[in-house]
């Protein structure tokens, strides 16, 4: 089923595309997500963002809204890494960029709107809601288009920015055609929505599970202090990218456990591309999955 996330865009993005189109998008996008220099810049920025959140929590008396701060933290991260935008969503949550992403997330699913008969737009209540959602979508689309044109101008002027969208502008592959403006718009939308909302939800659920299991929280804390002592670090900001990725097995296990129990994607669809036989029960039994079989993964079902 094809639909629209925003007016003028399609759901034919890297998440929803099929087969060859998915291969094209994957091949063109992949280098931008595995570039070590880009990851290190992102790592440095994340230290600053996390420090702002920690300082905010330390100054707050009583409880904190961890869910809201996780969402703003994630938006800061994806705005910088994805688009080269410095957004103070943690301390200044009412800026234009933050309000626009909130518009995007609240504009509703374009597929649902497309399924409704045209006359629904003329009904007193639901029609106004549909028109409001479409107006929000147009505002957000205009912002994305402006942002992409700014990145293109900077690249034309010789200013090679260190962010994912700027890399996608020049992404090339011998087998596939380059991204055009429509591709860039569609992938930018899914990058911001998927990268922001999934990260925020994962953080929220991680905070929740750690709060419910203080003994695990303590072990995570001990792993951090042990690594810092080992390397002579005096501050969390001293921890390098390589150390973060390779020397925190317990914290990595906590995140993986959170993703298994409370995955950010509510539904994951997979279609079998060809007949395949799978062994299970230590190879004692076989099951054949027929081409065309659809599988639906539900978040939180793997208890």
Q: Dump pLDDT digits (tens) for 14-36.
A: 777 777 888 888 888 888 777 77
Whether 77 and 167 share a structural domain: yes
Whether 159 and 234 share a structural domain: no
Q: Categorize the per-residue pLDDT at 3 as very low, low, confident or very high, splitting at 50, 70 and 90.
A: very low
Q: Is 206 part of a structural domain of the chain?
A: no
Whether 234 and 285 share a structural domain: no
Whether 49 and 138 share a structural domain: yes
- Give the tokens for residue 50: 């996390």
Whether 179 and 87 share a structural domain: yes
Q: Is 46 part of a structural domain of the chain?
A: yes
Q: Is 81 part of a structural domain of the chain?
A: yes
**Domains in the chain, number:** 3
Q: Is 11 part of a structural domain of the chain?
A: no
Please give the mean pLDDT across all residues of the chain: 78
Using CA atoms, how far residue 207 sits from 6, 200, 278, 295, in Å, is 32, 11, 37, 30
Last residue of a domain, one of 167, 197, 227: 197
pLDDT, average across residues 60-75: 85
Please answer whether residues 143 and 10 qualify as being in contact, where contact means their C-beta atoms are separated by less than 8 angstroms: no
Whether 107 and 126 share a structural domain: yes
Provide the CATH number for the domain around residue 137.
Answer: 1.10.630.10
Whether 26 and 142 share a structural domain: yes
Please answer whether residues 193 and 105 qualify as being in contact, where contact means their C-beta atoms are separated by less than 8 angstroms: yes
Mean pLDDT is lowest, of 97-106, 255-264, 275-284, for 97-106
Whether 89 and 142 share a structural domain: yes
Whether 134 and 245 share a structural domain: no
- Give the tokens for residue 130: 């549909």
Q: Is 205 part of a structural domain of the chain?
A: no
Q: Is 1 part of a structural domain of the chain?
A: no
Whether 272 and 227 share a structural domain: no
- Give the tokens for residue 155: 């690249």
Q: Is 303 part of a structural domain of the chain?
A: no
| Per-residue pLDDT, 105 | 59
- Give the tokens for residue 9: 């865009």
Whether 31 and 124 share a structural domain: yes
| Per-residue pLDDT, 97 | 62
Select from 101, 105, 106, 74 the least CA-distant residue to 90.
74
Select from 78, 67, 4, 89 the least CA-distant residue to 206.
67
Q: Is 235 part of a structural domain of the chain?
A: yes
pLDDT, average across residues 156-167: 76
Whether 219 and 251 share a structural domain: yes
| Per-residue pLDDT, 222 | 97
Which structural domain range is residue 148 located in?
Answer: 19-197
More confident residue, 151 or 132: 151
């Amino acid at each position: 089923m094809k639909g629209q996330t925003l007016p003028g865009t399609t759901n034919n993005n890297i998440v929803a595309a099929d087969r060859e189109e998915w291969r094209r998008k994957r091949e063109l996008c992949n280098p931008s997500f595995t570039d070590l220099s880009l990851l290190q810049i992102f790592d440095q920025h994340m230290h600053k963002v996390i420090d702002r959140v920690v300082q905010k929590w330390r100054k707050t008396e009583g409880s904190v809204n961890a869910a809201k701060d996780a969402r703003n933290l994630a938006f800061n991260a994806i705005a910088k890494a994805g688009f080269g935008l410095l957004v103070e969503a943690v301390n200044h949550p009412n800026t234009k960029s933050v309000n626009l992403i909130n518009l995007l997330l609240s504009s509703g699913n374009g597929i649902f709107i497309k399924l409704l008969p045209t006359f629904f737009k003329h009904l007193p209540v639901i029609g106004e809601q549909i028109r409001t959602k479409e107006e929000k979508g147009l505002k957000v689309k205009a912002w994305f288009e402006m942002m992409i044109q700014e990145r293109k101008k900077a690249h034309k002027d010789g200013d090679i920015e260190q962010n994912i969208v700027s890399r996608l502008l020049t992404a090339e592959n011998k087998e596939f055609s380059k991204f055009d403006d429509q591709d860039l718009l569609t992938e930018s939308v899914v990058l911001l929505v998927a990268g922001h909302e999934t990260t925020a939800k994962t953080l929220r659920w991680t905070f929740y599970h750690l709060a419910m299991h203080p003994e695990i929280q303590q072990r995570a804390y001990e792993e951090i202090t042990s690594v810092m002592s080992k390397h002579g670090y005096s501050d969390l900001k001293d921890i390098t990218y390589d150390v973060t990725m390779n020397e925190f097995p317990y914290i990595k296990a906590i995140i993986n456990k959170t993703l298994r129990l409370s995955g950010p994607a509510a539904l994951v669809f997979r279609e079998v591309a060809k007949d395949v036989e799978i062994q299970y029960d230590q190879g004692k039994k076989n099951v054949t999955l027929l081409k065309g079989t659809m599988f639906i993964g539900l978040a939180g079902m793997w208890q």
